[in-house]
Amino acid sequence: MDREIVFKKVAEITSNRFKIPVDKVTDDLNFTNDLGADFIDMAGFIVELEDEFGDVFTSENTENISDVSDLVDVIIRDTDPKSKKHISKK
């Protein structure tokens, strides 16, 4: 899966969810420190991401996600290519 495409989609979802400009979403944007996200915020965010990327997330692969780069890495590594969900290139 192409990192740039995944990043752009994650940036769009992050921007909408946390009400920040999409151009402020960078690889090192930390969900807790920079956005003030707590467990409840992240749970809702993960649900939105699963709507886009499919059932990628588990308790094991989400426990060490702290920034956008970590999140993109998990999506790229763990997305099932047979999933009916796919990333549009728009």
| β-pair partners for 67 | 30
**Residue 8 belongs to domain spanning:** 3-78
Q: What is the pLDDT of residues 56-80, one digit of tens each?
A: 999 999 999 999 999 999 999 998 6
CA distance 48 to 40: 13
> Residue 65 has what pLDDT?
96
> Residue 1 has what pLDDT?
77
Check which CATH number belongs to the domain holding 53 and give it: 1.10.1200.10
Residue 70 a catalytic site member: no
CA distance 86 to 80: 10
> Residue 81 has what pLDDT?
65
CA distance 13 to 2: 17
Confidence of residue 84 (pLDDT cuts 50, 70, 90): very low
Pick the catalytic residue: 2, 28, 38, 51? 38
Number of domains within the chain: 1
Q: Which two tokens stand for residue 78?
A: 């763990």
> Residue 79 has what pLDDT?
86
CA distances from 3 to 33, 40, 41, 44, 52 (A): 24, 27, 24, 23, 15
Tell me: pLDDT of 83 over 80: no
> Would 88 be classed as within a structural domain?
no
